[in-house]
Every structure is written in C-alpha cells, then in structure tokens.
Chains A and B, each alone.
Chain A
Amino acid sequence: MRVALFITCVNDTLFPGTGKAVVSLLRRLGCEVDFPAAQTCCGQMHVNTGYRAEGVRLARHFTEVFAGYDAVVAPSGSCAAMVREQYPKLARPGSKGAAAIAEVAPKVYELSEFLIDVLKVEDVGAYFPHRVTYHPTCHSLRGLRLGDRPARLLRHVRGLELVPLPGAEECCGFGGTFAVKNPAVSAAMGADKTRNIMDTGAEVLCAADNSCLMHIGGTLSRQKTGVRTMHLAEILASTEESQ
C-alpha cells in the first residue's frame, strides 16, 4: 500500500523524531511510505485563531499536495481532525474546493486509526519496558472519536505497563493559540493535568499529538517532575534493538 506521510508543521519543525518513528513503523508493517515534499501545514492555527483567508489558502494547498494517494497518515489527531472535520466547512457547497476536500479528506487517517482500521493490526511488534500513561487529546477523543484504539495498540507493546490517567478526558489546556492568549487558565489546566499524571507514577506520558505534549511536557519539565513525554508513534516504533 502506498501511503503518504503528512508530517504536520509542528512535528516537521520541532519533533522530527516522531516522523522518523512513523516511517520506520509503517515500513516494518509493509507499507511504502512517501513524503510529498511540497506539504506544509493544514492551516488549523490560522483558521482557529480567526485568520480564515490564510487558513483556506493552506487547506487548498493541502488538498493539491495530497490528491491521488490511497491513504494519508498523520501522527496528529488534531491535524487529522482539522482536515476531516473542519475542511468541509471551509469551502462553499458545490464549489471546486468542496469537491477536492470531499476527495482527499476521507483518506486522511490519524496513525492509530490507520493501523487498526486500515492495516488491521493491533500488535505492531513493539517493545518498550516502561510504565506509561496515555492522555487522549481532545481532537482525537471528541473530534476523531479514536476511542480505545491507542490503548489497544499500547497494550500489545511488550514490556509496557499501561496505567490509567485520572481525569484523562479533560483538556490539558493547550488549545493552540489559547495557550498564549489565555495563559492563566491554560496554565491552571496544565497544572491539574500534570498533577493527575504524577499520581499515576508513570515514567512516560504518551499522546497522539505533540502539540499537547509540548504544553504538558513543558509544564512537567518546568516543575522538574522527571516524567518524559513521548508520541505514540515513538513507542510503537521501539523494538528490542532500538532500546
């Protein structure tokens, strides 16, 4: 199966390790991975901050770059939800843009969806001997409705102890530009989230979005907690050899 990787601008710029993990994981599972070089950003930051014109331009660019692939895999629940849930609202009904979106959007998958729904695999052959807790990010939980897909994948990782996160379904307080436009509330939400994480005794906090992990991780690090953050892809890509 020929799969396009949509790395997302945040991962591309700040978390290349997540992209490398997706590539090695998908290849291990027999996929041919392509990285369309012209890709940039889904436009979520612009649209959700009120800059629709710029966002629409980026959405148009996305649909052009990813047209024609069997599947597009993104290691981000938030960006996948942007394409699938919000793109259809950006174009005028019946327009050329709407048709392009209708063509591309359904083929965009968040990583765990792609693994479970398309590749039909739960055990990806990973090994990660650590205690891990999982934060279901809002857009993967309530946007994409990923449900327990990430947990099913994590439970099959050898050596991994998955511990439940109290208040898991509550937002961490990132919210894109919300984090800097409403810093006090964002920080208060982040502080409550980190307290819940600490209570689990986990060594690693895992999620399907590096943007949320950047906020929670930045808080965990500032508070000198010693808890690491890792993207789901990086845990699933881990093997005995890579440890």
Chain B
Amino acid sequence: MSATFLGMPGNFPENSQKAVQDSQLRYNLRKATHTIRGKRADVVGELPDWAELRAAGKAIKDHTLRNLDRYLVQLERAVQDAGGTVHWARDAAEANRIVTGLVKATGEREVVKVKSMATQEIELNQALAAEGITAYETDLAELIVQLGDDFPSHILVPAIHRNRSEIREIFLEKMPETPAGLTDDPPALAEAARLHLRERFLRSKVAISGANFMVAETGTLVVLESEGNGRMCLTLPETLISVVGIEKLLPTWRDLEVFLQLLPRSSTGERMNPYTSMWTGAVEGQDFHLVLLDNGRTGVLADEVGRQALRCIRCSACLNVCPVYERAGGHAYGSVYPGPIGAILTPQLRGMGSELDASLPYASSLCGACYDVCPVAIDIPEVLVDLRAKAPHAAAEKAGMKVAGWILDDHRRLAAAQRLASKVRGLVPKKRLPGPMSAWTDTRDVPEIPEESFRDWWERNERA
C-alpha cells in the first residue's frame, strides 16, 4: 500500500529544505528531468504547427468547460447507449463508495489498476483496503511506489525520485519470486515487473482505470500508456470500472486529433506513446462502469482565473521543466499533484486551510517556464499570483508590506527612507541580516547601500 498525503504536516519551504539536502534525490531528479526536457523539445520542434495545435487545445478545453453540463449529459447518454453504466460522484467519499460497492457486487477481493490520477486523488486504494479488497497497481512506477510503501512524486512517473539501484533493492525485498541475481539494468528490472504481474493480469476479474479523455459525442474513453499494463487491465477482466474527473471531456471525436498530438509529445517526449486504447461502452462482453468525479472541480470552475487549471491534461511537462520541482522533488508538495500544476490545483481542490496548502502558491519563482511548455497554455504564474492574493498572510509580513506600501505610495516618503538607509549604510551587516531577512544572508551577501539614491543624484545634478 502506498502512503497517503492527506493531513501531511509541514509546509513547502520546510519540506523542500530537506529535499535540497538529499543529494541522491537531487541527482536522480536532475538526470531524469533534463533527459525528458531534451526529448520533449526535440519532438515538439518537429511540428511546425505546434502553436496552432496549442491554441486549438486551449480553445477546445475552454469551450468544453463553458458547456460542461451539456456535454456531460451527452456523454452519459452515449455511454449508456453503448451498454455502459454511468455513476456520478460529488466527492471522494461518494466515488469510493460507488467503486467499492461495484467491486463487492462481483464477489472479487482483488482488483488490478491502471495508473490513474483521479483514483490517487480520492485515495481509492485505501478505501478498498478498508473493505478488504486489495488493489494491485500495474504501472511500473506505481508498482515501485506501492511496493516501497512510498509517496508518488511525479504525475507521469510517480517513482521518478528512485534510480535504478534503488528500484532493484525494492524489487529484491518485496517481490518474492525475483531472482537474487537481478541486476539494475533497466531492461532486467522491466522484465522482473513483467513476470511479477503476468499471472495477476490473467487471473483478475475486475480492473479499475482512469481515462485521459472522454468524448461526449460518441461516449468513447481513451487511455494513453506505454507498457501494455493498461491494455491488460482494460481488455482482460470481466468488469471494468473507470473513475474520471468531469473535466476530462472533449466534445467531439475530431477533437482527439489535437490532443493525440499534444499529449504524447508533451509528456514522454515521443511522437506517439506505445499504446492508446479507445473503447465505447461495454466491449467484447465486458461489464463497463463509468464514475464521473466532481470532488472540488466545480468549485474550481467557478473561479474566473483559476478555472484554466481544469484545462490540464496531466502531461507533466510543467514539472519536468520547473527549476523548483527539480530541486524540491514531488513529495514537498504534499499532494498527488506536485510541481507547478499541483501548486495551482491542490490549493483550489483542497482549499488553503492547512499550512502546507497555503504555502503552495508561493512554491514558485514565477519564472514562467511552465506556461511556455504547457500544451493547453495554462498561465500558471497568473493563477499562482491570484491564489497568493487569496492565501492567508502572516501578521508580521502583512504589517511589513503595509509599511512598504505606505512608503512607496509617495515619492517624498520613499526619498526620506532612502536617505535614512544611506545614513545608516555603514551599520548594515553584509553577511548577517536580522529577523526574517536572515534567510537572504544565509547564502548571499547584501549589496552595498549607496551614499545617495538615484533620485537624489538627479535632483542635485540634473533638475534645473
């Protein structure tokens, strides 16, 4: 069972400070994110119409969100017409109740799972376990996280914080059938996972998945993956339950032509991911259930600035390019959604009641690299700044900002403050500032305060 993020103590600055000191983690993350950055840049650069695809992707999502109620009803009808059953869940508890009930009705005690952010978000595995049902993650990275009793740290590659030798250790310890001679060669590790899961795939009667896209017009669900574990889960079991966030909708079949280009190139940096499965309703005799999940999404939709986060297609390009994520790692964000998108999604989905969630909008230098690579043009810095205005502020900071605002409101007050600073310039310690500003001088010297501000120089020399 992987660990749960809910109720995690601390805040982003403290969590990331620990991560920064973990040199193994920093090495792993640096290597992985720099590899994928290069691959993404190459395959995006191949398409001369990337900007046009991005504009279309953004507009399709905005149009869908504007008409989400209408399209959800259309989707429901299409899935039902194709023999599927549709359920609606207001929140995590309701979704978990529905899924648990469906599994219990089959009489099975085990389910196989395709990697899904939505089921991680609602902590479905924990809910199933509480009812005596064991969920087996089948994505390689999810398996590594689950076996290691660990937290996911990346949207696409939840075990990105682990390197090959750490993965080997986990496999040797937690997969009894693994031969002792297992090397840390990635193909050997993949082979070990293949053998470990093979039997489980063939035996399982119930599978649980998410979906990357749902098409309202046709009722089609779409899952993109690499390993084939998705195909195994979607195809072989008798019952398939898909838990999907309501924002994963696309209006028309044709819209897939945009997103099947945007997503693989942005996420794994490939022209196309190895496998994409599309199915409409109950296929080849399967019993199919779709659980449509709100869990805070309609609240996000009501926010004029923040709602753009619902365009997200979970590609992880923003994580891979983020200098803060690269150094802090995914766990510091305390959510299944780490990185820049997590910093705007988590506080909107969960609120900013906890110290951790209130610190997330500040977990960014606002460098804008995330916005540049986002395939649906989510202006993450814009949402971060908007959330900062809504976040609770510490009393001392509030007072300081108020004083700074008062001084800057009037150039005469600013000039007086500058003259005062120049007067005491000899007293300002270059290496150690007091109070909260010590955070600056822990690693950086203070610039010398000049004898005279620019405006005083101008007054003296230029004002005729």
Contacts and interface: CB of A to CB of B under 8 A. Distances in A.
A189 B452 contact: no
Interface in A116-159: 138-139, 142-143
A23 B409 CA distance: 25
Given A187-B443, A218-B445, A51 B453 contact: no
Contacts of A57: 405, 409
A29 interface: no
Interface stretch (A38-46, A98-106, A107-115, A201-209): A38-46
B362 interface: yes
A163 interface: no
15 contacts: A11-B454, A19-B454, A49-B388, A50-B385, A86-B385, A175-B366, A179-B444, A180-B436, A182-B363, A183-B13, A183-B442, A183-B443, A186-B365, A188-B20, A214-B447
Interface in B428-456: 431, 436-437, 439-440, 442-447, 449-450, 452-455
B277 interface: no
Given A37-B459, A190-B444, 19 more contacts: A12-B418, A13-B418, A15-B447, A40-B410, A46-B401, A49-B401, A50-B388, A50-B393, A54-B401, A58-B405, A138-B366, A139-B368, A170-B369, A171-B367, A180-B437, A180-B439, A184-B13, A187-B20, A188-B327
B440 A51 contact: no
Given A11-B454, A12-B455, A138-B367, A221 B445 contact: yes
A164 interface: no
A142 B323 CA distance: 14
Contact of B405 (A38, A46, A48, A191): A46
A97 interface: no
Contacts of A9: 408, 414
A47 interface: yes
Contact of B453 (A13, A176, A179, A190): A13
Q: Which of B367, B405, B409, B455 has the most CB of A within 10 A?
A: B367
Given A13-B418, A54-B402, A35 B408 contact: no
A185 B372 contact: no
Which of A39, A139, A186: most chain B Cβ within 10 A? A186
For A16, A45, A58, A174, the residue with the greatest tally of chain B CB atoms inside 10 Å of its CB is: A16
Contacts of B408: 9, 40-41, 43, 58
B457 A38 contact: no
B327 A180 contact: no
A185 B324 contact: yes
Nearest to A42: B408
A143 B366 CA distance: 10
Contact of A175 (B364, B390, B405, B421): B364
Contacts of A219: 443-444
Interface of A: 7, 9, 11-17, 19-20, 23, 35, 37-41, 43, 45-52, 54, 57-58, 61, 86, 89, 138-139, 142-143, 169-171, 173-191, 214-215, 217-219, 221-222
B453 A175 contact: no
Q: Which 10 A-B pairs have the closest CB atoms?
A: A175-B365, A218-B444, A50-B388, A54-B405, A171-B367, A184-B17, A19-B454, A16-B454, A142-B368, A138-B367
Contacts of A171: 323, 365, 367, 369
A50, A138, A189 — most chain B CB neighbours (10 Å): A50
Given A142-B371, A182-B12, A185-B20, A50 B365 contact: no
Contacts of B440: 179-180, 183, 218
Interface residues of B, number: 63
Nearest to A193: B323
Interface of B: 12-13, 16-17, 20-21, 26, 323-324, 327-328, 361-369, 371-372, 382, 385, 388-391, 393, 397, 401-402, 404-405, 408-411, 414, 418, 421, 431, 436-437, 439-440, 442-447, 449-450, 452-455, 457-459, 462-463
Contacts of B418: 12-13
Contacts of A215: 444
B442 A187 contact: yes
A89 B382 contact: yes
B372 A142 contact: yes
A89 B437 CA distance: 30
Contacts of B371: 142
Contacts of B442: 183, 187
A56 B26 CA distance: 39
A127 B380 CA distance: 41
A41 B401 CA distance: 13
Given A35-B455, A138-B366, A183-B443, A48 B411 contact: no
B327 A189 contact: yes
Contacts of A190: 443-444
A184 B16 contact: yes
Contacts of B372: 142
Contacts of B462: 23, 35
A57 B361 CA distance: 23
Given A47-B385, A58-B409, A176-B366, A20 B443 contact: no
A177 B437 CA distance: 10
